[in-house]
Chain A
Amino acid sequence: MSISRRGFLGGTGVVAGVAAGSATARAGGGMDRFMGYPDAMGLLHDTTLCVGCRSCEVACAKVNGKPKPAGPLHDKSIFGKMRRVTDKLYTVVNRYVKARGNKPAVYRKHQCMHCQEPCCASVCFVKAFTKTPEGPVLYDPSVCVGCRYCVNVCPYYALGYEYENAFNPTVQRCTMCYERIKKGDQPGCAEACPMGAIVYGKREDLLRLARQRIAKFPDRYVDQIFGEHEYGGTSWLTLAGVSFDKLGLPVNASHKPLPELTSGFLSVVPLVITIYPGLLLGFYAWTKRKERLADQAREAAAAEARAAAEEAGAAKAAHQKKLAESRQKKAVDLAVKKALAQADREREAAKAAAAEEETP
């Protein structure tokens, strides 16, 4: 069966349309690194100063209109279980190391880290997330379809989703108090922290500040600013006196941004679109060619057989004819001979009869 030209062109046209439509992200082979927007803001959380008072949770709930966090603030029994960020609790303080003797307990505040190259922004298929030049990663609920791919991939488990909202569920997460910082205020948690364990400022300045602190007090801090490079870096930087894996953070995280893993693959997609048609048409042509050759061979064989059969038939017919002719001839000769013999006999008989009549 043959392909109609119209069908073929139609198909190719659609394919080209898809190719143009599915433009992919950055070039897969690029060696550049996004160093962050200059003048972007960030926050520095010094866990050696955190006493687990949870004033930040209260302030965050107040600023964002969420229900008050559980329990009286001085009741430390709430730290018996690890709590997670939810759609109603944008930030949460957990106790990671219990107090022992003279050594105080170690707490850490957890929330969206506002990564420099956020996974959530990379995986959103309606581009609902934006990394703003001011630093925060913002979410646009008006386009969100609710696929929750972002919630699924966040390496810090920092997103919540409104599962209880039936008609307009959206993703809920720390916004770094974007409205407030645009006005020049501090994020609610930074303002509320009584110990100054959360410092708000330009990310560059905070990095310098963190390095100063580590240099001044090398016994107090682990020599790592978490968020400087991990997974491409975050706007929320953390200092600690214990190893970060004890604080629930991936201490040996790669410095490579995670979205690069997807963009590397997606760069192959246009190759499929461009190579497959030619390749598959090639297969198809190959198949067709094989079929055609097979048909041709079959036909040739059939013709040969027919010719051979005809020849054989003609020869046979001629042979039969000759045979018949000779048989006929023989029969005729025989009949003639017989007739002649008969005639002779009759002649002889007549002659004898005539001779008898002549004598008295």
Chain B
Amino acid sequence: MSESAATAAVKRPLLTPFNIIAGLILAAGVAVGIYRFAVGLAPSTNLDHLNPWGLWIGFDVMTGVALAAGGFTISSAVYLFGLKEYQPLVRPAILTGFLGYFLVVLGLLVDLGQPWRLPYPFVVQAGPTSALFEIALCVALYLGTLFVEFTPAAFEWLGWRRWRRLVHSMTIALTIFGLILSTMHQSTLGAMYLITPDRLHPLWYSAHIPVHFFVSAVIAGLSMVIFESALSHRVFADKVEITHEKLDSLTIGLAKAACVALGVYLAIKVVAISLDNEWALLFTPYGHWYLFEILGFVVLPMIGYAIGFRERRPTLIRVSAVITVVGIVLNRLNVSIFAYNWRLPSHERYWPHPYEIIVTVALVTFAVVAFKWIAGRMPILHEHPDYRGEH
């Protein structure tokens, strides 16, 4: 009997604790979303004329894009650099990436003043001098790319063989395209801040911000894959095909890459400080915060990864992955909120409104729920029996 029929035959209870909590969060998110569109941004956010970008841009857009970088990292590793053993991780990474970028677009739509005008730069009037234009174009194209890269799994589930074969033949082109687009928009997210050397704190500001953002995106992608694969392996124990040992060995391999990437990141951060001669700033309160971010969330996980792959300790690697992901979140929030407008007095600084937090949490929950639904049904965590070996 076909796979879809098999899954349909198993009855799943609807009111699990996870579903209830997720449902409540999603309901709250939808309610706040409706409120935001009904009354505008003033009552539903803490944004003002000095701090026009808040949690929705800082987290949903900037952090979301970074954490969804697993898609291009793993697919490039497998298809372009020939690391075939990571094949089982490609589909979950692509799905995470796709849902992540979808979440980014949803978050953007909530934040924009007139979101129905989002296509304007492409159909009405383009402003190509803007970094945001390039980001919009690349994210739109990349979302499409990720969607197309995800469709083979859907086609396998639906049984549409011809479509599946067609898309599958485009894998290399899509991967190259995805890597180009990702390089551009991940770095340009940092480049958005090049024009604000005064408003962003000098420790986070550098002429090389785009490079910092791109390298940290690679780090984020790898760490997210480690984290998400560990989580999926536990939650979908019945669906995953690869064994614990196999996943552990893949994790260890990823840890090597992530460790090197973190080392590179640390190096370019040190270079950035010395280029602008900012050593004295490290001894200010903001400097302490910067050191906290670097030492706690770059150096520490780098050591964790190193020990993890040397001594073959997947648990340590997973802990380091979580720390790294938190560090990426912290870095993006620092650049967009905490270290931004640093000269303003404290009563003019920004803190998220509870409604902003609700919407953000709801969007993340939505991504998790969608992942759970798709991975539970489609051949994401395992190979479809009809297409075994055809990757």
Contact = CB atoms under 8 A, between A and B. Distances in A.
Interface residues of A, number: 77
A273 B141 CA distance: 14
A163 B353 CA distance: 14
Contacts of B38: 166
Interface stretch (A189-197, A257-265, A352-360): A257-265
Nearest to A149: B132
A269 to B, nearest CB: 6
Given A145-B112, A160-B49, A259-B195, A11 B170 contact: yes
A266 interface: yes
B120 interface: yes
Interface of B: 37-42, 45, 47-50, 52-53, 76, 79-82, 112-115, 117-118, 120-121, 124-134, 136-138, 141, 169-174, 176-177, 179-181, 183-184, 188, 191-192, 194-199, 207, 210, 348, 390-391
Those 6 A-B pairs whose CB atoms lie nearest each other, nearest first = A146-B113, A11-B173, A287-B82, A166-B40, A127-B127, A148-B52
A34 to B, nearest CB: 13
B250 to A, nearest CB: 18
Contacts of B191: 262, 265-266
A280 interface: yes
A97 to B, nearest CB: 18
Given A123-B130, A272-B180, A145 B52 contact: no
A94 to B, nearest CB: 14
A143 B180 contact: no
Interface string A116-158: 0001011111111000000000000001111111011101010
Given A145-B112, A265-B210, A266-B134, A84 B50 contact: yes
Given A258-B196, A264-B194, A276-B179, 5 more contacts: A3-B173, A84-B49, A126-B120, A261-B195, A284-B176
Contacts of A149: 130, 132, 192
A151 B52 contact: yes
17 contacts: A3-B169, A7-B170, A7-B173, A8-B173, A24-B128, A126-B127, A148-B52, A149-B192, A163-B48, A164-B40, A169-B41, A263-B129, A264-B194, A284-B79, A284-B80, A284-B176, A287-B81
B163 to A, nearest CB: 14
Nearest to B114: A146
A149 B174 CA distance: 31
B130 to A, nearest CB: 4
A262 B129 CA distance: 8
A283 B130 CA distance: 32
Contacts of B181: 18
A280 B184 contact: no
